[in-house]
Amino acid sequence: MDVQSVLLGFLMRQSMTGYDLKKAFSISFSFFSSLSYGSIYPALKKMENLGLISMRTEIQDGAPNRKVYSITEAGRKAFLDSLKSPLAFEQPKNTFLMKLFFFAYLAPEERKAIAVNYLNAIEEFHKQLEVARPEVEARADRFQFLCYQFGLDHFQDLARNLLKIIEALDEGEIENAG
């Protein structure tokens, strides 16, 4: 899904500020996508110009005014059309696998260091997802929780596969090509 569709999806549930949208995205999508304020606000402006959302300013005492975005009927239709559109398979990109393909050109200790560092990063990210569990369980509907669980499983499987590679590197099954 593109940025516009994701933002519209969050606005289907309730009106939100740009900050709220970023936070909701970070909690919900952090394991498979990223979204910055630099992409959120231009998308919101464009959607407002297209009539997909409306914006109202909430005046706050002692704090900056808040811009609150709400989805319009045209936005609801655009979101549902996007959600119903057929999916095409997306080839995932994995920089580690691209490097692994050429590991024969590295010394054994370099290979292992790269693999172990990547495993550590995966395990750390998995821990961060686990820390978010109470908040996800409190806020997520059934399908959102399935998405979260898919992410947990994905990173657990990734770590398990990487451990197999590290074991193979330790066993010396892979020789230098060059």
Whether 73 and 121 map to the same domain: the answer is: no
Whether 127 and 79 map to the same domain: the answer is: no
Please list, residue by residue across 134-173, b when 16 or more beta carbons sit within 10 angstroms of its beta carbon and e when fewer do.
eebeeebeeeeeebbeebbeebeebbeebeebbeebeeee
Whether 33 and 10 map to the same domain: the answer is: yes
Report, as an integer, the average pLDDT of 31-57: 88
- The tens digit of pLDDT for each residue in 143-166 reads 888 988 988 999 999 999 999 999
Range of the domain at 108: 95-170
Residue 45 within a domain: yes
Q: In the predicted model, is pLDDT for residue 176 greater than 80?
A: no
The residue out of 84, 114, 149 marking a domain boundary is 84
- Percent over 70 (pLDDT), the chain: 92
Q: Whose CA is closest to 9, among 170, 144, 164, 151?
A: 144
Q: What is the pTM of this model?
A: 0.74
**126 CB-near residues (< 8 Å, 6+ apart):** 152, 155, 156, 159
- The tens digit of pLDDT for each residue in 58-69 reads 998 998 899 999
Residue 25 within a domain: yes
* pLDDT for 92: 80
Residue 175 within a domain: no
Whether 12 and 63 map to the same domain: the answer is: yes
Q: Please, what is the Cα angle at 172 between 114 and 118, to 5 degrees?
A: 15
Whether 79 and 13 map to the same domain: the answer is: yes
* pLDDT for 177: 45
The residue out of 84, 104, 126 marking a domain boundary is 84
Residue 178 within a domain: no
Phi and psi angles of residue 132, each rounded to the nearest 5 degrees, phi first: -80, -10
* pLDDT for 168: 94
Whether 7 and 64 map to the same domain: the answer is: yes
Whether 26 and 79 map to the same domain: the answer is: yes
Residue 89 within a domain: no
- The tens digit of pLDDT for each residue in 67-103 reads 999 999 999 999 999 999 999 888 888 899 999 999 9
* pLDDT for 75: 97
121: pLDDT confidence band, cut at 50, 70 and 90? very high
- The tens digit of pLDDT for each residue in 19-43 reads 888 888 776 676 666 677 788 899 9
Q: Which residue has the higher pLDDT, 18 or 175?
A: 18
Number of domains present in the structure of the chain:
2
- Percent over 90 (pLDDT), the chain: 58
- CATH number, domain with residue 10: 1.10.10.10
Instruction: Report the mean per-residue pLDDT for the chain.
Output: 89
Residue 177 within a domain: no
| Adjacency order of strands within the sheet including 53-58 | 16-17, 66-71, 53-58
